[in-house]
Each structure stands twice: as structure tokens, then as C-alpha cells.
Amino acid sequence: MLIGVTSFFRDPTVWEHLCNETIPALLAANPDGAAFKAWVPACSTGEEAYTLAMVFDEAVTRASGLGKFSLQIFATDLHGDAIDKARQGMFGRAVEDALSHERLLRYFIVDGAGYRIRKELRNMIIFAQQNIISDPPFTKLDILSCRNLLIYFNPKLQEQLIPLFHYALKPEGLLVLGSADTPGSYNELFTPVPGCGRIYRRLDASTQRVANYFPTKIAKAAQPSSIEVTTMTMNGNIQTQVEHLLLKAHTPAAVMINSDGDILYIHGRTGTFLEPAAGRANWNIHAMARDGLRYELADLIERANRSESTETVRELLFKDGAASLLVDMTAEVLREDAHSGHNLLVTFNASPMPARKRGSRGADPRPQELEQQLTMARLELQAVREEMQTSREELKAANEELQSTNEELQSTNEELTTSKEEMQSLNEELYTVNAELQSKVDDLSLVNSDMKNLLNSTDIAVIFLDSQMNIRRYTNQATQLYKLIATDLNRPLSDIANDLVYPTMEDDAAEVLRSLVFCERQIPTRDGRWFMVRIMPYRTVNNVIDGLVLTFVNVTELKLLEARLTPEGGSLK
């Protein structure tokens, strides 16, 4: 719902301070003259904007010794009907209670049952429909009057608009707020003007500080982990598929993992080979693998991911407490279709080390264990090197992406600068066109005034009709014959009461329209007067017939003279 509460000189103390101190100080800071700009958002039906224009005009009048000053006011509102009413500048008799008699005489003219803003004051204001929340603001302003609007917004929206006002104002610009509005916690952006708690002066603040007040990031919605995603997208028959494969391989202990090593499914007794890691629960096979298997298992899974085929490690010596075991591990890639990612099935098959194995490798298994540890250390070192190389490549790629992003941002900034310049150029062109149109309107008003004075000075009653015999225009003398008022325009002439004894007027007018030959008759009135009635076609500048012109010349004296001369010398011709 839109709230349109407004009036002239609302909160008089604020306007008195603006008129007597704030605006005169602004004028004194520019003794050579200047063109100021102001913005009045949420102007409703225009009273706030017209009040600001009056206050500025009064301040400029008192500062007559300085240069030439002007103020361009941009008044905006979300409500289109309110803006249309504000543009008309027409107010009822109620303004007599809000304005002094001197201001009424100076800035208003009486128009019917109300008052209309004078053209000089109206030309200072441009009214436009705007949404202050989503539409871009006006910039390089000297005054911004936003009174009693912020109280209707929530705190988050206020935190966005106050820095926006700071951006729109020039250095040392003035922010005028309502009795219930404040800049809130933005003390580094505005400071109150001494003597009035509703007027604030813009302070210089760092760009980084101001930018922090605008939301620049949108929190990303929490994404499920890769384990959750994979678990949610698991095919319902994975268990059947895994059990079928295990039965073919004599049902060894096995786990189903994804390409990152996250465990999706466990089959059989895997406690000999895997154990939960200490701390927060981690279902990754690399964290759960026992020490004697960790590096060989990591190498096995990496080779399987790279080749996307089955990889095997045979007779790996592994100690489970005091027992020595030979472990065979297999990693087999599983795909559900050609486009989706792959999972791996890792199986473990352990058997005790036989006596002949021990004999063939020596009575003491210690050298074999040391050799195996050396191999694991080499594998670990190789894995660390590959990870470091991968990290370097990722950092290099990230650096290139950041450079590319920086170039894109610079290009975007240049485009925005160009767009701003184009908008400024377009704005200047619009100002020029507006000035030309205003000049044309003034010329047209002057010509209209000249035409009206010419027609009235001839003392001849003239009525202009269109092709449908409707009244288009008339002179003041025509009201002596026809009972015409201002609202009779565009009404048929036959509907208007008149004093002429001329029943065939409509027929004569229709004949003139048809034949384009003028008609002239002497017609009496009911009160004894005589008029020479001439009906002529109305021709446009393009020589097009577009109605009729009726002229009524008073010939009463001529008829009386003719009546006196008739008995003596016959009729006067």
C-alpha cells in the first residue's frame, strides 16, 4: 500500500533553517553563481518539491548581491497517479491554511476553485516515476530531501539506502530527513548541521568503507558432500551387483568406493585391513587403511583410477599383531553408464605366510620387511612429489583465472564508464530538447495571446466551428448573442441558446460546407437588434476545409437609419 501523506512546509522549523541559514551558506560558498541540483524521492503529489523550490527562491532573493543561481529539482515517486497530479501543480483552497498570504500571491495564481503553481516555479522541477529501491539514483546532487520515508523500510533496506544517498550527493552536500528518520549508525558518512537535527552534511569517506555497506556476496546454499551426493545417487541394485561379483571371487572382504576414496558400501569382515581413524568420523579408505597397507593401497587405487581397469597387488607382507600375512589386493573400476562417473570395488584376500615362502625368502623375514618399507617410502615420496606438482599447476591455473577475471572487471568498468558518459550526453541532449520545447511553448503562448487580443479588439462576434458543427473557439463578443461558457467547447452550436431569429442557420451552414460559397444575411434578434451574419468556410494553412467561421456584425444603427430614411426617399440600399 502506498502512503501519500504530505503537505506544504511540513515541519516548519526545518524549512526555516534551510531558508535562513543552510541555503544562504550554500550560496555564499559560490559567490560567482552556480547551478544546483536537488532530488526529492517519494515526493507524493509534489508539495515537498514545491516547498523546496519556494525556499530556494526566497533565499536567492535575499542574496541579491551575489551571482546568478538556479536550482533543478528532480522529484520522483513510485505512484504514477501522484506524479501526474504533481505535474499539474493544481491545489485546492486548503493550501490557504498552510501558506502565508505573501507566498500565495508570489507563487500561485487563482484558477477556478483552487490555486495553480506559477510557471516560473513549476519550471524548476522535473517529475518522474521511480522505484528508489531498484532504480538507479540521481548523482552529483547538492540537496537530497528524503523525509519520512525510511521509517517504512526494514533495517536491512535502510542500510542499503543511506550509503546510496552518500554516493548521490556531492562533497558537503545536504541530506534532509524527516522527524522520524536518522542516518543510523553511519556517523562516518553524515554529520548533523548545527542548529537543526534533521539536516545532515555529507562527509568524505573512503571508497572501500562505503562499498562495504552494499551487499556484494550471496551466501551459497549448503551443498551436500560428495559422499552424500554419491550415496543419494546410488543405484538401488548395487548390493546385488557387489554380492554377485564377490561370489565369483570366492567372497573376499571388499569395499565399494568412489573415485575420491569415500566408502559407499562394505562387504564381509574388513577389520583386518581397515580401521576407523581417531577423531571425527571419516569414511575415506585412505584414512582407514592400516599402516602396513596404506601406501600400497593408495598406489593401487591411483593406478586403477588412471587406467580405468583392474589393478592387483600380490603377496604383500603384512603383520597383524604377531602373525605375518600375505595380502592380495584388487581394485576394479565399475561404471553404470558411459557418461556418469565411476566407482571402484577394492577386495582384500589374506593368507598366512607358508613355511616354504619363509624358506625361499630366508629364515629371517626382517630384510623383506625392510625392503617393503623402503618401497613404501619411495611410493610415498613419489606421491608427495606428484601432489606438489598438481598443486603448482592448480595454483598457476588459479592465478591465470584471477588475471582473466581482473581483465574482465577492468573491461566491465570501462564499459560502465562509457555507459555513464553516454547517459550524461543523452541527459544533456534531453535538457537541450526540453529547453527548445519550452521556448516553442512560450512562443505559442505569446501567439495565442496576440490572437486572442486581436479577435477581442475587433469588437466583432466570431464563432469557429468544426466540420460537425461543434464549437471550436469563440470571442468574448459572441456571448452577447449565444449563452456561451468555457465548458461549451466541443458542443454542437445548435444546443446553445441564442437571441437570433434565424431558424435556417443550420441549413445555411450545411450549404456553405457543401458548396464552399459564403452566405451573408441580416438577422434580427429578439430584443430588437440587427446583425450581419456571415458564414464562411474555415481553411487551414494547407488550404483544407476544416469547418466554418461565423461572424456577427452589429448593424442596428444602420437599420434604424434606413427606417428613418424610408418614408422620405425610399429604402436605403
pLDDT at residue number 437:
93
Return the SS3 of 298. Answer: helix
Which one is predicted more confidently, 560 or 568? 560
* Residue 1 C-beta-side C-alpha neighbours within 13 Å: 2
- pLDDT > 90 in the chain, percent: 34
Which one is predicted more confidently, 350 or 433? 433
Arithmetic mean of pLDDT, 325-347:
81
Write down the residue that cell numbers 490555486 correspond to. Answer: 115
pLDDT band with cut points at 50, 70 and 90 for residue 228: very low
pLDDT at residue number 211:
42
* Pairwise CA distance, residues 572 & 563, whole Å: 8
* Pairwise CA distance, residues 69 & 61, whole Å: 10
Phi, psi at 497, each rounded to 5°: -70, 145
pLDDT band with cut points at 50, 70 and 90 for residue 239: low
pLDDT digits (tens, 9 = 90+) for 404-413: 999 999 999 9
Most confident segment among 64-68, 84-88, 176-180, 270-274:
84-88
Q: Residues of 8-35 as b/e, b for ≥16 C-beta within 10 angstroms?
A: bbbeeebbebbbebbbbebbeeeeeebe
- Cα angle value 464/467/473 (rounded, 5°): 20
pLDDT at residue number 236:
45
CATH top-level class of 12-211: alpha beta
Kindly report whether the global pTM for this prediction surpasses the value 0.95: no
* Pairwise CA distance, residues 202 & 210, whole Å: 12
pLDDT band with cut points at 50, 70 and 90 for residue 339: low
Arithmetic mean of pLDDT, 238-254:
65
pLDDT at residue number 368:
63
Which one is predicted more confidently, 259 or 442? 442
Tell me the fold of 226-361. Answer: Beta-Lactamase (3.30.450)
pLDDT at residue number 216:
34
CB–CB of 140/170 below 8 Å?
Answer: yes
pLDDT band with cut points at 50, 70 and 90 for residue 383: confident
Q: Which residue pairs, CB below 8 angstroms and at least 24 apart, start in 8-15?
A: 8/47, 8/50, 8/51, 8/95, 8/98, 8/99, 9/51, 9/98, 9/99, 10/47, 10/48, 10/51, 10/147, 11/147, 11/178, 11/179, 11/198, 13/196, 14/176, 14/196, 14/198, 14/199, 15/51, 15/55
* Pairwise CA distance, residues 236 & 60, whole Å: 83
- Taking residue 271's Cβ as centre, other Cβ atoms within 10 Å add up to 11
End-to-end CA distance of the chain: 77
Query: Whose CA is closest to 195, among 48, 27, 24?
Result: 24
Arithmetic mean of pLDDT, 190-219:
66
pLDDT digits (tens, 9 = 90+) for 107-132: 999 888 889 999 999 999 999 999 88
Q: Which of 255-259, 323-327, 473-477 is the least confident region?
A: 323-327
Residue count of the chain, please give it. Answer: 573
pLDDT at residue number 249:
52
Which of 3.40.50.360, 3.40.50.300, 3.30.450.20, 3.50.50.60 would CATH assign to domain 458-569? Answer: 3.30.450.20
State the pairing for strand pair 519-524/530-539: antiparallel
Given its phi and psi angles, is residue 400 left (phi above 0), alpha (psi -120 to 50 degrees) or beta? alpha
